Amino acid sequence: MATRHQKTLARFMVAPSVLLLLGWMIVPLAMTLWFSFQSYNLLSPGMEQFIGWTNYKYFLSDPAFWQAMTNTLLIVIGVLVITVGGGILLALLLDQPIMGQGVVRILMIAPFFIMPTVSALVWKNMFMNPVNGLFAWVAKAVGAQPVDFLAQYPLMSIIGIVAWQWLPFATLILLTALQSLDSEQMEAAEMDGASAWAKFTHLVLPHLSRAITVVILIETIFLLSVFAEILVTTNGGPGYASTNLTYLVYSQALLQYDVGGASAGGIIAVILANIVAIFLMRMIGKTLE
C-alpha cells in the first residue's frame, strides 16, 4: 500500500542483503559441488582431475559416513527430546508462585550464554575426567567405579553437554509462552471441572505448540552442525563413535586434506539438511502465520 516511488526504493533497499546471501549460498556451494567430482588432495597439488561419482561412492560406502549420519540424527533428536521435555517441566515449575523467581531465571538461563568451547572443556575436564573430575569423586564417594564418560559413552556425553547448553533456551521460550496463557481460560476450564492433567493436555500443550515448534526449528538449525563440542572433547572418537557429519567433513578436509571426498560429504550434508529443512519450514510456515 503505497506510492510507486516508494516501492522502487524498497526493492532497491532489499537488494544488497539478498545479493550478499545469494552470493554466500551459491558461490561456495557451486565450488563444493565442483570439487566433489574431482580427485583433489591438498597434499598433492596440481594433480586434480575429474573422477565423476567416485568421491560419492567412496564416501557413501565408508562405514564412517553411516555412523556419522546416525550420530548427527541422534544428537539432534536426543538433545531435542531432553530440552523440549525438560523445558516444559521446568517452565511449568517456574510458572508456579516461587520466591526469588528473577534470580532463579537468571541462574537457569546462564548456560545458554556460555561459549561452546568453554562448556565442552569444563565438562570434559572438571566433571567427566575419570581421575580428577567431580563425577569421579562422587562415584568414589558412594563406593562405585568412576566412569570414563567420554571414552565409554562419548556420544551420550556430548548429547548431555549440548543439552545442558540448550535446555535454558527451551525453558525460557516455553516459560514466556506459558505466561501468555489466558488465566480466564484456565478458570473457565476449572469451572467446567477439568482436572490438572486435562488442563495440561487440552489447554497448556496446545497453547505451547507454537513455541515448541519454534524451539525445535531453532535448535535443529544449530544442532545439525554441532562441532566445537566434538572437536574439544573427543575429536570424534573413539573411532567414529562421536563423529557427526560436520565433524567428518572437517576431518576429511582439514586433517586428511582430501578436498574431493570432503566436498562429496559436504554436499550430502546439504542434502540431508534440506530434507530436514523442508519439514521444518512447512511446520513453521503454518504456525508462524
Partner 1 sequence: MARKVSDTRRWTFTILAWGVALAIFFPILWTILTSFKSEADAIASPPKFLFFNWTLENYAEVQSRSPYFRHFLNSVIISVGSTLLGLLFAIPAAWSMAFQPAKRTKDLLMWMLSTKMMPAAGVLIPMYLLFRSSGLLDTRIGITVVLMLINLPIITWMLYTYFREIPGEILEAARMDGASLGKEILYVLTPMAVPGIASTLLLNVILAWNEAFWTLNLTTSKAAPLTTFIASYSSPEGLFYAKLSAASTMAIAPILILGWFSQKQLVRGLTFGAVK
Partner 2 sequence: MGSITLKQVRKAFGEVEVIPGVDLQINDGEFVVFVGPSGCGKSTLLRLIAGLEDVTSGQILIDGQDVTHAAPAKRKLAMVFQSYALYPHMSVRKNIAFPLKMAGMDAAEQDRRVGHAAGILNLTDYLERRPGQLSGGQRQRVAIGRAIVREPSAFLFDEPLSNLDAALRVNMRVEISELHKKLATTMVYVTHDQVEAMTMADKIVVLRAGRVEQVGSPLELYRNPANRFVAGFIGSPNMNFLEGEVASRMGAHAIGVRPGHFRMSTSDGLLPGTVGVAEHLGSDTFLHVDLDGGTHVIARAEGEFPVHHGDRIWLTPQEGRIYRFNDKGLSL
Point out which residues bind partner 2 (CB under 8 A).
1-4
From residue 151, give the alpha-carbon distance in Å to each of 37, 45, 78, 154, 158.
Answer: 36, 37, 19, 6, 11
CB of 135 to partner 2, least distance (A): 53
Which residue's C-alpha cell is 566436498? Answer: 263
Residue 136 makes CB contacts below 8 A (sequence gap 6+) with 129, 130, 146, 147
CB of 14 to partner 1, least distance (A): 5
Instruction: Check: CB of residue 196 under 8 Å from CB of residue 113.
Output: no
Q: Which of partner 1, partner 2, none does 137 bind, CB closer than 5 to 8 A by kind?
A: partner 1
Segment interacting with partner 1, rule: CB under 8 A, options 9-17, 57-65, 151-159, 191-199: 9-17
Q: Which of partner 1, partner 2, none does 58 bind, CB closer than 5 to 8 A by kind?
A: none
270 forms part of the interface with partner 1 (CB under 8 A): yes
d(CA 62, CA 266): 15
Beta strand extents in the chain (DSSP E only): 38-39, 49-50
Segment interacting with partner 1, rule: CB under 8 A, options 74-82, 120-128, 143-151, 195-203: 120-128
Count of beta carbons in the 10 Å neighbourhood of residue 242: 28
162 forms part of the interface with partner 1 (CB under 8 A): no
**What are the backbone dihedrals phi and psi of residue 51, each rounded to the nearest 5 degrees, phi first?**
-130, 20
CB of 3 or CB of 49, closer to partner 2 = 3
Segment interacting with partner 1, rule: CB under 8 A, options 50-58, 106-114, 149-157, 198-206: 106-114
Residues in 14-73 at the binding interface with partner 1, rule: CB under 8 A: 14, 16-18, 20-21, 24-25, 27-29, 31-32, 35
Q: Which of partner 1, partner 2, none does 272 bind, CB closer than 5 to 8 A by kind?
A: partner 1
Cell numbers for 203: 489447554
CB of 3 to partner 2, least distance (A): 5
- Bond before 146 cis per omega within 30 degrees: no
Q: How many helices (H) and strands (E) does the chain have?
A: 14, 2
CB of 5 to partner 2, least distance (A): 8
Cell numbers for 91: 517452565
The residue from 73, 104, 181, 189 that contacts partner 1 (CB under 8 A) is 104
CB of 137 to partner 1, least distance (A): 6
Q: Which of partner 2, partner 1, none does 4 bind, CB closer than 5 to 8 A by kind?
A: partner 2
From residue 6, give the alpha-carbon distance in Å to each of 13, 15, 17, 230.
Answer: 10, 14, 18, 50
The residue from 43, 98, 142, 196 that contacts partner 1 (CB under 8 A) is 98
CB of 167 to partner 1, least distance (A): 7
Residues in 201-260 at the binding interface with partner 1, rule: CB under 8 A: 210-211, 214, 218, 221, 224-225, 227-228, 231-232, 245-246, 248-250, 253-254, 259
**What are the backbone dihedrals phi and psi of residue 227, each rounded to the nearest 5 degrees, phi first?**
-140, -60
Count of beta carbons in the 10 Å neighbourhood of residue 254: 12
d(CA 92, CA 94): 6
